[in-house]
Structure 1
Amino acid sequence: SGGLIAIAVTIFLNYPIDWTFLNRTYTFSSFLGMALAYAIDRQHRENYLQNCIIELNQLEMSKQSEQLELLSQLDSLTGLANRRHLSEVLEQQWRISLRYQMPVSILMVDIDFFKEYNDHLGHLAGDLCLQKIAHELKNLTSRSNDLAARYGGEEFLLLFPMLNEDQIELLAKKLMQRILNLALPHPASPISAAVTVSIGAATVIPQELDTIPAFIQRADEALYHAKSSGRNQYCMSKKAAA
């Protein structure tokens, strides 16, 4: 381009030009242009790499944040939802059931004579027992909106949106059979040679005056009835929510 401009100047302006000087100037300007182009390209590449590194760091931080959030929702021993996360999900599903007048059901599950199990076999065996039962509970809550949570100690709560009383009763029976199929020896149990569970079930189509604590209380009372009636059984709550 510089050479063409010089020729144009020479022809149209009748201006004599030193071609040796032009050649040296052209050569110098070419090297200068290449150097500038290299410097600009290098800067662009460095900026691109820095942006990539920043983006990767942001993705990594986002993944770590998600992992921390997930860990904050789980019980560390069983891998099930913890009580705080259960409260959040139950509140959400309760509002949906209230709005669309759909049933919501829960199972409150308690391991029979778990203290005696720990005393006889030790806490490591007790932890392993909790983990195996938690695995069965998680498999039972297979739908996307279902949730299995550790409610406290050897007690668990399972949430099943959009299931009615007949359906939740079938799940209670299925769960009891799955626990029996584990065949976990319980030498300290007065009712069975293997670990068993007692279950209290409750179903409700929420109304404006109903409350979640009253709903959970229904399942807890049904569980108490199952335990006081000999354990290794389930009980369905028939009482209307308060």
Structure 2
Amino acid sequence: MQDELYLIKEAEVGSRQIGLAKVVVTLLLLSAAIATPLAMVPLVPIPGYMSAFGIAMIIINIILGALLFAKGLIESKERTIRLGTAYFFVTVIFIPLIAAFPGGLMTAPIIGTTSSAVWLWCYWHTGFGLLIIRYALSSDDVAGTATSVRTSIIATIAVVVLLTLSATIGLPYMPAVFSNGKNFFDDSTLVIPALVFGVNLIALLCVMRMRDSKPEQLWVMVGMFAACIDIWLTLYGGSRFSLGWYFAKITSLFTSLVVLISQLYGITRLYNSIAGANKILMTQANQDGLTALSNRRCFDQVLEIEWNRARRDKRSLALLMIDVDFFKKYNDSYGHLAGDDCLRKIANHMLAVINRPGDVAARYGGEEFVVILPNTDASGARLVGERLLYNLSQTAIPHAQNLPSGLVTLSIGVSAMVPGAGSNTTMLALAADKALYEAKEHGRNQIRTAAPESIAPMPPAFLLS
């Protein structure tokens, strides 16, 4: 069971994921190399492109941020919460960014001027890069808490409000950008894009130096490659609606999308592992550990289900109650280990004589067994019992204290009935128990079938040992 629970832990990065990441990074670098010479080529403005792009970024990043916050709380990892903060920051800052972009939601900017969108773009990439650096440099041993998540959310919103104010109300105090209405930066403001690109490049290097070999780190690194390419093509394209500008927006989506996909893939793997572990737990909860037959709990559940089905279909339900003759003497003579082995052999014979999917053999307790036979009358159930006795006799397990045969034998009680009004499973079980008692009284190693008129409420019979 410990091995199964281990599967529930987050998987290490496999060679296939590393290979896929290398392919993705290679394609990103090749596409950037091809797009760079063409980045300044002007293209036709697409109405609603920025608003569609912005809404997509908000949706992707809010989902990703929420997943990482939840993961950080569940695993108690402050580092994961900090990663979630980075993507939540992108979500929040995109709200004023779309509002400031001309043509984003309306023809003219809703807040600030066209230069405000440029500054908010700078804040977006710089803030995201800094938060990724903070994530990469943080210790994996620091516990994450709900307070940490709340603090991160409040602080992020507060910072974005201040940045938005500086990009709108504070524009007169900021360096002039987009001054010619065409290019984002000129020679006097090149230090700004250099700083933005430098922060994200440092963030990429920090993630690459992380020692944890987990899918999270791998795909954040791939995302940072995309972020650097995004910044590079935006700046090299120089203006809105250029080929580089359009291409950069695609890589912006890719920055978050690869991490989101990796998280969803990880959740799917964890769900699959949990489902598998749950099946094992359910099997263990319903299975006898010694014989691998169903246990008493499972027997009670199945008997109730089959009883209701038989009553609905007006079909007979049969029950065999089985007891190993003089089993206490067997244990005293041969030891408990031999006794356990004997019970396992009997269980295997029981499984061999029930062939239908609905038939259930269970260990009732100690050396007692039961068999549920749906859609079976008393004669059919007796045939199953006779096959069990015959197969066991052929195995010839020695039992010196069980005379006159000197072998391990069984006593079997059979009952069968069509459930009707006023009847219940207790009547069926008590009738089989009484028939078993009769088999013991009449010499053991035999089958006794309960008479139909005997299937009625009665005090429980005590089995002979």
TM-score by length of 2: 0.46
The question of whether the paired residues in 1 share the 8 Å contact of 2:41 and 2:237 is answered with no
Question: Equivalent residue for 1:8?
Answer: none
One-letter amino acid of the structure 2 residue matched with residue 139 of structure 1: A
Distance 1:222 1:40, change over 3 A: same
Question: Equivalent residue for 1:234?
Answer: 447
Deviations 1:123-169 (Å, cap 9, x if unpaired)? 00000100111111122222111110111110101000101122112
Map 1:153-172; keep pairs closer than 5 Å.
153-172=366-385
Distance 1:148 1:4, change over 3 A: closer
Is 2:188 the counterpart of 1:149? no
1:33: how far off?
Answer: 5.3
The question of whether the paired residues in 1 share the 8 Å contact of 2:417 and 2:452 is answered with no
Map 1:11-22; keep pairs closer than 5 Å.
none
Question: Equivalent residue for 2:285?
Answer: 72
One-letter amino acid of the structure 2 residue matched with residue 93 of structure 1: E
Question: Equivalent residue for 1:14?
Answer: none
Is 2:245 the counterpart of 1:206? no
Hey, which of these two has a bigger chunk of strand by percent?
Answer: 1
1:38: how far off?
Answer: 3.1
Question: Equivalent residue for 2:337?
Answer: 124
Question: Equivalent residue for 1:220?
Answer: 433
Is 2:305 the counterpart of 1:92? yes
Question: Equivalent residue for 1:183?
Answer: 396
The DSSP-based 3-state class of the residue aligned with 1:149 is strand
Partners of 2:408 and 2:359 in 1: CA distance = 25
1:32: how far off?
Answer: 5.7
1:2: how far off?
Answer: 4.6
Deviations 1:103-127 (Å, cap 9, x if unpaired)? 0101111111110100000000000
Partners of 1:45 and 1:61 in 2: CA distance = 24
1:54: how far off?
Answer: 0.7
Deviations 1:26-65 (Å, cap 9, x if unpaired)? 6445556555533432321111111000111112112211
Distance 1:28 1:100, change over 3 A: same
1:4: how far off?
Answer: 5.7
Partners of 2:253 and 2:305 in 1: CA distance = 55
Is 2:317 the counterpart of 1:109? no
The DSSP-based 3-state class of the residue aligned with 2:42 is helix
42, 56, 74: which is aligned to 1:3? Answer: 42
Distance 1:39 1:239, change over 3 A: same
The DSSP-based 3-state class of the residue aligned with 1:186 is coil
Partners of 1:81 and 1:26 in 2: CA distance = 70
Partners of 2:441 and 2:42 in 1: CA distance = 104
The DSSP-based 3-state class of the residue aligned with 2:288 is coil
Give ranges in structure 1 of 5+ residues lacking alignment: 6-20
The DSSP-based 3-state class of the residue aligned with 1:159 is strand
Partners of 2:41 and 2:305 in 1: CA distance = 73
Distance 1:168 1:3, change over 3 A: closer
Query: Aligned-residue CA RMSD in angstroms?
Result: 2.4
One-letter amino acid of the structure 2 residue matched with residue 186 of structure 1: H
Deviations 1:206-230 (Å, cap 9, x if unpaired)? 1111121121111111111111111
Partners of 1:113 and 1:4 in 2: CA distance = 93
The DSSP-based 3-state class of the residue aligned with 1:3 is coil
1:178: how far off?
Answer: 1.0
The DSSP-based 3-state class of the residue aligned with 1:98 is helix
Partners of 1:81 and 1:72 in 2: CA distance = 9
Distance 1:26 1:159, change over 3 A: closer
One-letter amino acid of the structure 2 residue matched with residue 194 of structure 1: L
One-letter amino acid of the structure 2 residue matched with residue 128 of structure 1: D
Hey, which of these two has a bigger chunk of helix by percent?
Answer: 2
The answer to which of 191-200 and 39-48 deviates more is 39-48
Partners of 2:423 and 2:353 in 1: CA distance = 27
371, 387, 401: which is aligned to 1:174? Answer: 387
Partners of 1:71 and 1:155 in 2: CA distance = 19
Query: What is the total number of aligned residue pairs between the two structures?
Result: 228
Map 1:31-50; keep pairs closer than 5 Å.
34-50=247-263
One-letter amino acid of the structure 1 residue matched with residue 315 of structure 2: M
The question of whether the paired residues in 1 share the 8 Å contact of 2:400 and 2:407 is answered with yes
Higher RCO by CA contacts (8 Å cutoff, separation 6 or greater): 1
The DSSP-based 3-state class of the residue aligned with 2:364 is strand
Question: Percent of pairs identical after alignment?
Answer: 34
1:187: how far off?
Answer: 2.1
One-letter amino acid of the structure 2 residue matched with residue 42 of structure 1: T
One-letter amino acid of the structure 2 residue matched with residue 3 of structure 1: P
